[in-house]
Amino acid sequence: MHFESNHIYHIFNQGNNRQKIFFSKENYLFFLKKVHTHIKPFADILAWCLMPNHFHLMVFVRETNLEMIDNTGQTTSSRQTSLTDKNTSMADENISEKLTRSLAVMLSSYTRALNKQQSLSGSLFRQKTKALCLTRIDKVSKAWYVSNGIVNINLQIPEKQYPNVCFNYILFNPVKSGIVKRNEDWEFSSFPDTIGFREGKLISRERIEELGLRVLVDP
């Protein structure tokens, strides 16, 4: 995975062999705590959805050099860096390495906890977590949304609409997948927070507004 500051990414993965990764409400809530710990130090979360056998995160990577999270989930102190034209590339490399590592720690620590709880062993998630940049369209094909059946969109749309299409795809995933009839009925998604039905603190409403992301009536 590679991340650059001031860009939007869609991060997703699913259970190995499409197996379940969440078995109870407590599992979902535990995973969300890990998202808060391991992702929010580096990125503003725009949308999220946890499904029984996969997850979606849409994030905006900030222009900061923040804490490194080690494999125990603890943060090591570092200073915030003011970026210049000269050091932007180095800073992006730094943030990419840290966020990639933090994601890996998040998934491996969740896997250990769930395997212990369910008396399982081995890999819980597919080997490679995907992170698609939605604001560098030159690097994204028109079939930009592909992941073994759980993500599959092929639309002819203006490049500027890619982030909003992804935003709505994630929010409407529970209904499109047939789990619920109304998105607000699925607890493990940012949809209720986005439309004001719930006051969850994981998403950045300010960044969503700044980026002009909107919930569509019929995405």
Q: What is each CA distance from 18 to 122, 126, 186, in whole angstroms?
A: 14, 8, 20
Domain extent, residue 49, equals 8-210
The count of structural domains within the chain is 1
Specify if 2 maps to a domain.
Answer: no
> Which tokens hold the place of 111?
């896997």
Tens-digit pLDDT profile for residues 139-173: 544 444 444 544 445 444 444 578 998 999 999 99
What is the longest distance spanned by two Cα atoms in the chain?
51
d(CA 185, CA 167): 18
Specify if 216 maps to a domain.
Answer: no
Tens-digit pLDDT profile for residues 95-143: 899 999 999 999 999 999 999 999 988 899 999 999 999 987 555 444 4
In 132-190, where does DSSP find H-type helix? Answer: 162-171, 173-176
Specify if 1 maps to a domain.
Answer: no
User: Average pLDDT for residues 192-211, to the nearest whole number?
Assistant: 95
d(CA 47, CA 32): 12
Left (φ > 0), alpha (ψ -120 to 50) or beta: where does 56 sit?
Answer: beta
Specify if 217 maps to a domain.
Answer: no
